Amino acid sequence: AQTVTQSQPEMSVQEAETVTLSCTYDTSENNYYLFWYKQPPSRQMILVIRQEAYKQQNATENRFSVNFQKAAKSFSLKISDSQLGDTAMYFCAFMKPRGVTGGGNKLTFGTGTQLKVEL
Amino acid sequence: DAGITQSPRHKVTETGTPVTLRCHQTENHRYMYWYRQDPGHGLRLIHYSYGVKDTDKGEVSDGYSVSRSKTEDFLLTLESATSSQTSVYFCASGKASSGNTIYFGEGSWLTVV
């Protein structure tokens, strides 16, 4: 079974600064997907960024980028130019695609990192 | 964002009563999921479906059952609600052609008293 670990329960950052959230995972799979979801106080789960394991290039979405280290099984999220609206719980998640033997296509989540952006 | 709606959004029920949460999606997604969110645990998978009438258990399936008779609807039933099932429940859906991205509903707050 896959496991996802987020070792930072809480973090804070000053507005306009850069912050990095850590995530490690454990799997024996070679083909998989990794995601970061954001959950603001409204509790809505919002996809921030995704990464396919077969792609060496790190994914980026505007101010959000990842550092994907496949051998180290590490998937950190960098938020640049932090904004007050970035205050949220951030979840790292792992997915093994469904194969011919079934299973898969399920997200396994870490326990989350609560990020607070301060003035 | 995918059109995923959950009902009811808030419910208070008594211990021992049955409860059904409904999830409806308008995206023709093959896969649908029910997660629960509790402090310190992140989101944990209860049950999921990979097609009409095809369902399987997740990591916290005890006390829950599901049904999927149509592509767009996925029902979660608590046969006899207990206080430990007080939680926020999230429905989600996705398909492989969307890059395996999973989209979430807005959540259903269930309190069992």
- CATH code, A45: 2.60.40.10
**pLDDT value, residue A102:** 60
Partner-chain contact A97 B100, CB within 8 Å: yes
Is A109 in contact with B100 (Cβ distance < 8 A)?
Answer: no
- At B72, the pLDDT band (50, 70, 90 cuts) reads very high
Closest approach of A111 to chain B, Cα-based (Å): 4
Would you state the pLDDT for residue A103? 60
- Collect all residues of chain A within an 8 Å Cβ-Cβ radius of residue B27: none
Instruction: For residue A7, give the chain B residue with the closest CA.
Output: B40
Residues in chain A closer than 8 A to B99 (CB atoms) = 33, 50, 52
**pLDDT recorded at residue A29:** 87
Cα–chain-centroid distance for residue B60? 12
- Tens digit of pLDDT for each residue in A20-54? 999 999 999 888 999 999 999 999 999 999 999 99
Q: Which residue has the tokens 């790292």?
A: A92
- The model's confidence at residue A56, banded by pLDDT at 50, 70 and 90, is confident
* Domains of chain B and any CATH numbers: 4-112 (2.60.40.10)
Asked if residue A2 has pLDDT above 90, the reply is no
pLDDT class for A100, splitting at 50, 70, 90?
A: low
Q: What's the whole-number mean pLDDT along residues A3-7?
A: 95
Burial of B1 (0-12, 13-18, 19+ CB in 10 A): exposed
**Which of the four pLDDT bands, split at 50, 70 and 90, describes residue B99?**
low
> Between chain A and chain B, how many beta carbons pairs sit less than 8 Å apart?
57
Q: Identify residue A9 by its one-letter amino acid code.
A: P
Position B98 scores a pLDDT of: 60
- In the DSSP assignment, the letter for residue A15 is T
Q: Do B96 and A91 touch (CB under 8 A)?
A: no
| 3 state SS of B72 | coil
Amino acid identity of residue B21, one-letter, is L
- In this predicted structure, the answer to whether residue A101 has a pLDDT above a threshold of 60 is no
Q: Which residues of B touch A106 (CB under 8 A)?
A: 33, 45, 48, 58
Q: What is the pLDDT of residue A104?
A: 63
Task: Indicate the number of domains in chain A.
Answer: 1
What would the pLDDT profile of A103-113 be if each residue is shown by its tens digit?
668 899 999 99
Averaged pLDDT for residues B71-98? 92
- DSSP single-letter state for residue B59: T
Is the CB of B83 inside 8 Å of chain A's CB atoms? no
Query: Looking at chain A, which residue has its C-alpha nearest residue B47?
Result: A106
pLDDT given for residue B101 in this prediction: 84
Parent domain of A15: 3-118
Residues of chain A above pLDDT 90, percent: 82
Contacts of A44 in chain B (CB under 8 A): 104, 106-107
Nearest to A98 among B40, B50, B88 (CB): B50
What are residue B98's phi and psi, to 5 degrees? -95, 25
Please check whether residue B110 is in contact with residue B11, taking contact to mean a CB–CB distance below 8 angstroms: yes
B74 at A interface, C-beta within 8 A: no
Using a 10 angstrom Cβ sphere, with 0-12 exposed, 13-18 middle and 19 or more buried, the burial of residue A16 is: exposed
